[in-house]
Amino acid sequence: MKRLQPKATTMVLLMLCLMYFITYVDRVNISTAAGQFKSELGLSNTQLGFVFSAFAYPYVLFQFIGGWVSDRFGAKRTLIACAFIWAVATTLTGLAGGFATLVAARLLLGLGEGATFPASTSAMASWVRKDKRGMAQGITHSSARLGNAVAPMLVLALMTAFNWRFSFYLLGALSFGWLVLWYVTYTEKPADHPRITDDEINTLPPPTVRPVEMPGTWARLYRRLLPVSRVYFCYNWILWLMLDWMPLYFMHTFHLNIKKAVIFTSGVFVAGVFGDLVGGLISDKLLRRTGNLKLARSYLVAFCMTMTGLSLIPVVLIHDPMYSLIFLAAAMFFNEMNIGPMWAIPMDVAYDRSGTASGIMSGTGFTAAIVSPVVAGYLIDRLGNWNVTFLLSIGVMACGVLMTFIMKPDAPFVARLKQAMPSEHVSRGAAVPLVDKN
């Protein structure tokens, strides 16, 4: 039986995969349920766009805060608090009675889920070896895309059997279940895990002394990651256009019923699952073979964004549901290939503060989730079709490609040190940076 039990490092990665899956089911279930509650609550497309984007406002803020909190207090406590809040928010969504209460529930959901990915990256920095960072990020994010793919069918089945409100109650209960599992299975330091082996510990980054830094470290790190954050904004523009609007796109553009629209939407999201896996694996393989971080991260992202933009062109030119499905799935696949290398960059650049670094990248880039759904809803209301929306998205991808060439994943961030902390103050997996003389 012991042989059948996964390694401690594998178990941690599986728990993070499950969390990514649940959080993305909880955040995109709204787009499938919208087909039912939009008419029930009397919402316009513009109002619906605000409901979709309301999640992003606190999410962006708590990406920054949560990254720092997870580095300071640990991923275990951070994710327990997050899980409780997002579980409550998901349940409250089912109780919403109108536009205002829907927005309030989505705001609370964004608050709860804001710190999840930076905290997870902080955990990975301690629990995942360097040459598998892209793979780990790709696998966890592929679980998120699997959540995207499953959510439409799951919510539709629950709406058919019960109603749209019940689907949120059940998903809230699932979130509470993950909280309990995380509490009993995760330890902040790998060495404290009861099932960790010496072989596993020897492959992981060693814990070292965290120094006392000069004031302004966060601001300097933000400036250092600004090019990365801008590229991540472009990635999120396409992602959230698809996550929020795909079911309604297929329903309204091709006059499909909700069941067919859900099947088409799931097909698009399934492509993203494979994109996450492929992108992370290719990035790590390039790094192991060449040792070139620019090639494994920046140039790979440039290629993927180029292919994403090119995949959207036939969607504008050919008005057929099957062709739209094929090329939107291709766009989703290539866009998701960006995830592995993009989320590995904060660990490459600032390993000793990877939660803070990933929070900066994700928080800044996630502002696209605020803008993209509202812009799409406005353009659809004004123009009655999706062509301009997709053309604008192609332009955003082109900007992303250009900005990849100013990312510097091979240039580690170096903090200015004030004085060293006593040797007994050891952080989990933190590296000691050199003094910055610039």
> What mean pLDDT is predicted for residues 74-90?
91
Q: What is the structure's pLDDT at 428?
A: 39
Read off the pLDDT of residues 290-322 as tens digits, 9 standing for 90 and up: 989 899 999 999 999 999 999 999 999 988 999
Determine the Cα–Cα distance for residues 316 and 232; give it in Å rounded to an integer.
24
In the prediction, which pLDDT does 4 show? 53
Q: Name which residue leads in pLDDT, 431 or 321.
A: 321
* Average per-residue pLDDT for the chain: 82
Residue 348, pLDDT score: 85
Classify residue 100 as exposed, middle or buried by CB count within 10 Å of its CB (0-12, 13-18, 19+).
exposed
pLDDT in tens, 33-64: 877 787 778 777 778 778 877 887 888 888 88
Q: Please name each of the domains of the chain with its CATH number.
A: 2-203+225-410 (1.20.1250.20)
Q: Exposed, middle or buried by CB within 10 Å (0-12, 13-18, 19+), for 168?
A: buried
Residue type, 407: M
pLDDT for 1 beyond 50: no
pLDDT at 343 over 90: no
pLDDT in tens, 390-409: 999 999 999 999 999 999 88
Q: What percent of the chain has pLDDT over 90?
A: 25
Q: How confident is the model at residue 429 (pLDDT cuts 50, 70, 90)?
A: very low
Answer for the pair 134, 281: CB distance below 8 angstroms, yes or no.
yes
Q: What 3-state DSSP class applies to 29? A: helix
Reduced to 3 states (helix: H, G, I; strand: E, B; else coil), residue 283 is helix
Say if CB 146 and CB 277 are below 8 A apart: no
Token digits for 221? 């790190």
Buried b / exposed e over 342-364, threshold 16 CB at 10 Å, is bbbbbbbbbbbbbbbbbbbbbbb
* Maximum average pLDDT range among 186-190, 277-281, 332-336, 428-432: 332-336
